[in-house]
Structure 1
């Protein structure tokens, strides 16, 4: 992936991960995922992966 694409995909993963975390904790309702603890675990993992991907897209290569 090119660098801008990595940053964009990384940011999207962070947003999705935070949404899944909030749904898993029951703060966002209206979904089958709401209140399910599994999504409260998967969400932060996806968000951290998104941060890592976004940061890898911002690093300069020599």
Structure 2
């Protein structure tokens, strides 16, 4: 991603995915009660995948662009 707006979008979407994945991990691990997801290993797994994808998106948006050699 080379445009500034595109990089910001990647970071924001990645941060949202990280937070949502964290909530799903907490519910799947029975740390956050009160939902049909509480205590379900499926939501723990889905949360781990979504959180990992969020980390990757943040990393892609935050890395510096290399300048071409001339």
Query: What is the rounded CA distance, in whole Å, between the counterparts of 1:53 and 1:11 in structure 2?
Result: 8
**Rg bigger for which structure?**
2
TM-score by length of 2: 0.81
Tell me, which stretches of 5 or more residues in structure 2 are unaligned? none
* Matched residue count: 62
TM-score by length of 1: 0.91
Question: How large is the Cα RMSD of the aligned pairs?
Answer: 1.2
Q: Which runs of 4+ in 1 moved over 3 A?
A: none
Tell me, which stretches of 5 or more residues in structure 1 are unaligned? none
